[in-house]
Amino acid sequence: MSTPIAPLPSAIVGLQLNDGWRIDSEVVMTAAQTGGNFSLSYKGSDAQGRQGFIKVLNYEYALSTPDPPATMQAMTEAYTFERQLVERCSAGRLSKIVRAYSHGSVYTAAWGFVPVSYIVFELAESDVRKALDLSQSLDLVVKLRLAHNAATGAAQLHGIGVAHQDIKPSNLLVFGSNSPNANDSKLADLGRASDRNVAAWHDSLTIAGDPAYAPPEQLYREAHDSFEKRRLACDIYQVGNLASFILTGVSFNARLHALLHPVHNWHNWQGDYDEVLPYVQAAHATAVQQIEAEIGGPLAGRIASLISNLTDPDIENRGHPESRRRGEPYAMNRIVSEFDLLSRRAELLVKANW
């Protein structure tokens, strides 16, 4: 009996990988979650009993496209880029980036002529969207810490010349115990990241990551030349966009989409971004007011102001105001510090029975 041209994902469950790792079970992922079409997802374990999330190249998807060789090349390049990047992050001990345990390629008769090319990551309990769904009682302290961890992860990447470009709820993974107050979180999925010094296949795309979480200038098809404006400013916006989702349950992009007149929406607008910017700014101001009202309490104004700075639709005004005054507009150190300070103040308010 011949091996099928498109290998079955389930056929490699039980496969022994390198470094003592084994594929234990399939994980069903949506295209919006870590992996997307380019990869298949599994859970695994090693000889020491560690659990891992295993990302495997999805050759079945490549073979189903109109141009399998081109898709296969793009997948292989993406895999190599991400593998090398996660190795750098793991070696640099970036504490808020999901760690990679192992990687490699093995052959099995079940997949015939194509290898099982994989990366093993530390296994999270959930992503932040699921964590919020599972526990409606997460208080402001925990939510601000989640946002702080996302900002810290982005800052750590920027420190090694890398922009994530796909910061969204499904890419902020939650670790720790079952108690929400003990949860930790880390950024995952560097498949659409941009390295200042290493070219990637997706660098030419105006929107490298998920369009649902892209900054407005990219949604309106404006692409800046500099790494700072095109990449770092994108991450800053996405941190603010994610913070809006964590704190209110609604992303900033969803608010903009609802507030903009259809004529001025990025799906319909055909003019230049500069022409539509005043309308986006007006929607932005209303969205910030909504966020402040929904958060409520003594810290609402400060939190809304921070989100406003991070999500400013004018890229020349985006970022922490003090960093801009000091000539480092896309530095993230003060953003990280601000989230940390807000979480500590929220904790004091909880202790004071606010």
pLDDT recorded at residue 2 = 45
Q: How many other CB atoms are found less than 10 A from the CB of residue 6?
A: 17
- Cα(first)–Cα(last) distance of the chain, in Å? 70
Taking every pair of Cα atoms in the chain, the longest distance, rounded to a whole number of angstroms, is 71
**What distance in Å separates the CA atoms of residue 68 and residue 39, rounded to the nearest whole number?**
15
Confidence band for 352, pLDDT divided at 50, 70 and 90: confident
**What distance in Å separates the CA atoms of residue 215 and residue 218, rounded to the nearest whole number?**
6
- Residue range 126-351 in CATH 3.40.50.1220: no
Residue 268: exposure state from Cβ atoms within 10 A (0-12, 13-18, ≥19): exposed
Cβ proximity of 313 and 233 under 8 Å: no
Tally of residues, the chain: 354
Question: Which structure tokens are listed for 203?
Answer: 């660098």
Among the CATH numbers 1.10.1060.10, 3.30.200.20, 3.40.50.300, 3.30.230.20, which is that of 9-122?
3.30.200.20
Mean pLDDT of the chain: 91
**What distance in Å separates the CA atoms of residue 29 and residue 9, rounded to the nearest whole number?**
13
Helix (H, G, I), strand (E, B) or coil at 323: helix
**What distance in Å separates the CA atoms of residue 278 and residue 238, rounded to the nearest whole number?**
21
pLDDT recorded at residue 33 = 55
- Delimit the CATH 3.30.200.20 region(s) of the chain: 9-122
Stretch among 58-62, 126-130, 223-227, 291-295 having the lowest mean pLDDT: 58-62
Tell me the whole-structure pTM to 2 decimals.
0.92
Q: Which pLDDT tens digit goes with each residue over 212-221?
A: 999 999 999 9
- Delimit the CATH 1.10.510.10 region(s) of the chain: 126-351
